[in-house]
Amino acid sequence: MTDANNCPSCGVATSPDAKFCEFCGVTLQPRSASVGVSLPPTQQGTIDRALGISPRSEEPSSGAMLQGRAGLTMTRYQEGYHYSEIIHGLGNLIQVLAYVAGGLLALIGFLGMVGLAQDNPFGSLAVAGGLSTFITGLLIGAIGYIHGILIKALGYFLKAQCDCAVNSSHFLTDDQRAEVMSLLE
């Protein structure tokens, strides 16, 4: 029979008022119900095998790689934060490329309007071509800027979803939540 302050699934010591095991995430029964009564066997072993988790019976040492549900959960959330940063960086890159391409086209169009109109026998046609290039450059810059903003917004949205998921996860302790959300000092 397991000790009243140990998880019935993995055997790790738990606090008396804990609702979930901080190591494996199993839901704990209220302590008053477990005194003098043997608990029915749980399906935790089946869940662990399906997730590919090997339950450990000892307390995880500090600095050791986390295993179990908490470790898997932290890895998943850290990847989500990593992807949100990649998406945000992609939005920045698109904005910069749009500025450069649009600015170059606008500059070429402007120089075409000014320079060709003076010495060119096709004066008005050259000005029209330069004007259309100038306007095209401005449109490319504006459209690229807007696309960059939208892609950056997707990165922020993913980060906000990760924040909500981490904050509501019962598999993680407050310190683990702070670590995943990069809030540690």
Q: What is the pLDDT of residue 147?
A: 95
Q: What's the CA gap between 139 and 80, in Å, rounded?
A: 34
Q: What is the pLDDT of residue 118?
A: 61
pLDDT in tens, 106-130: 988 888 777 655 666 666 666 778 8
Q: What is the DSSP letter of 6?
A: B
Q: What is the pLDDT of residue 124?
A: 67
What is the C-alpha radius of gyration for the chain, rounded to an integer number of angstroms?
A: 30
Q: How many CB atoms lie within 10 A of CB 130?
A: 20
Q: Tell me, what amino acid is at 178? A: A
pLDDT in tens, 33-51: 444 444 444 544 555 445 4
With b meaning 16 or more CB within 10 Å and e meaning fewer, what string describes 41-58?
Answer: eeebeeebeeeebebeee
Q: What is the DSSP letter of 173?
A: -
Q: What is the pLDDT of residue 25?
A: 72
pLDDT in tens, 11-35: 778 887 777 777 777 777 765 544 4
Residue 92 pLDDT > 90: yes
pLDDT in tens, 143-183: 999 999 999 999 999 999 988 988 888 888 888 888 888 86
Q: What is the pLDDT of residue 32?
A: 52
Q: Tokens representing 6? A: 């140990």
3-state class (DSSP) for residue 103: helix
Instruction: Find, among 12, 145, 35, 25, the residue nearest to 91 by Cα.
Output: 145
Q: What is the pLDDT of residue 2?
A: 45
Q: What is the pLDDT of residue 135?
A: 92
Listed by start position, the domains of the chain span 1-64, 68-180
Q: How many CA atoms lie within 13 A of 108 on its CB side?
A: 11
